[in-house]
Amino acid sequence: MIERSLVLLKPDAVKRGLMGKILTRFEDAGFKIVGAKMTWIDKDFGKRHYADIAERRGEKVLKVLLNFMTQGPVMALCVEGINAVENIRKIVGGTEPKSALPGTIRGDFAHISFAYADKENKAIENLIHASGNVEEAKVEVALWFKESELHSYKTAYETHTF
């Protein structure tokens, strides 16, 4: 099952200079980056991406999330591989960095808790977004990338030449 997933390196990952380390995690796991771009989103675009957050978590959560996501550039990636959606989520770790397992991106590079973020009235700075399921991935990839921005190529592992 070759799948594609959207991965966003959020403004905190960009500011902390973690983009290369995070990309390496996916490539080391055998995933292929088929689309990549850095962009600074506005709140209207953020609302399209997080369309269901207000329903699920409330308007306050949406507001602090949009404030966070628009405070700096975001690196958007389309990542491809076998069972990409599920396996990328494992690499990323739990949504709350404080609870994310060591060895995951959030577990290794972030430590903020939901309680602290709520106390400070800010979004949970958890470095990264990854599509939650295959259908969500299709919608998100189409929102963030034009088809002409996605590339098909063979890696050295796929062609067995080094």
Give the start-to-end residue ranges of the domains of the chain: 2-145
The answer to whether 91 and 29 have CB atoms below 8 angstroms apart is yes
Q: Who has greater pLDDT, 160 or 63?
A: 63
pLDDT, tens digit, for every residue of 7-64?
999 999 999 999 999 999 999 999 999 999 999 999 999 999 998 887 788 788 889 9
pLDDT at 162: 53
pLDDT at 51: 87
- Give the confidence band of 161 by pLDDT, cuts at 50, 70, 90: low
Q: Read off the pLDDT of each residue in 131-136 and give the average, rounded to a whole number.
A: 97
- Give the confidence band of 158 by pLDDT, cuts at 50, 70, 90: confident
H-helix segments, 3-155: 11-15, 19-28, 43-49, 53-57, 59-69, 84-92, 105-109, 114-120, 134-144
Model-level pTM?
0.94
Cα gap 21→25, rounded to integer Å: 7
Q: How many Cβ atoms sit within 10 Å of the Cβ of residue 119?
A: 9
The answer to whether 124 and 96 have CB atoms below 8 angstroms apart is yes
For residue 133, give the DSSP letter.
S
The answer to whether 103 and 92 have CB atoms below 8 angstroms apart is no
- Tokens for 157, please give them: 């592992």
pLDDT, tens digit, for every residue of 83-126?
999 999 999 999 999 999 999 999 999 999 999 999 999 999 99
Query: Which residues are identified as catalytic?
Result: 129
Instruction: Please state the CATH superfamily assignment of the domain spanning residues 2-145 in this structure.
Output: Nucleoside diphosphate kinase-like domain (3.30.70.141)
Cα gap 79→155, rounded to integer Å: 13
